[in-house]
Structure 1
C-alpha cells in the first residue's frame, strides 16, 4: 500500500528512490529500486493483496519501457524523476 500510494510517481510514472513524510528525498528512478518494487508486488500477489495485480502490471510496464536496453540485454541504472538519463550510469 505504501509503495503504491507514496513511492509511486503519479506525475511521471515509476517509483521514487527514497522519501519521507514530506515527499521525495531522492526523486531519481533507479533500476535497482524498481527491481525491489517488482519483488514486493510479486510477494503481494502470493498473499492476495488487492493492489498486487495493478502494481505488477505497472512495474512490469515501467521496467520494459523505461529501463530495459535490448542492445545491452540489461536494464539502465538511473534516470531523473522525468526519465532523463543521468551521466555515467549503466547498471547491467
Structure 2
C-alpha cells in the first residue's frame, strides 16, 4: 500500500512506532496473519470496541488472549484460516 508507514515487529519499539503513526490513537481495526504471543501485544494497541482479525497462524505457538474484562473491553476478536476460505479443507 503505497504511502502508508511500514512497521516490523522485528524492531524492539514497534508498538511505539504504531502509536506514532496513529497519532497516539488506539486502532479500530487490526489484521494479524501471525498470531502467537504477538496477539497479546496487539490487544494493547486496539481501541475499546475495536476489531482484530486473526488469520493464517504463521507463528508456531497458539494465540493466547487474556479474557479478563479489563483486557478485552468491548473488543471483537475474530479468526479464520485462509486455506478453509479458499476451499482447501481444514487447516
Instruction: Give TM class, smaller chain.
Output: under 0.3
Richer in helix (by share): 1
Q: Where is the strand percentage greater, Structure 1 or Structure 2?
A: 2
Larger radius of gyration: 2
**TM-score between both structures, scaled by the size of structure 2:** 0.28
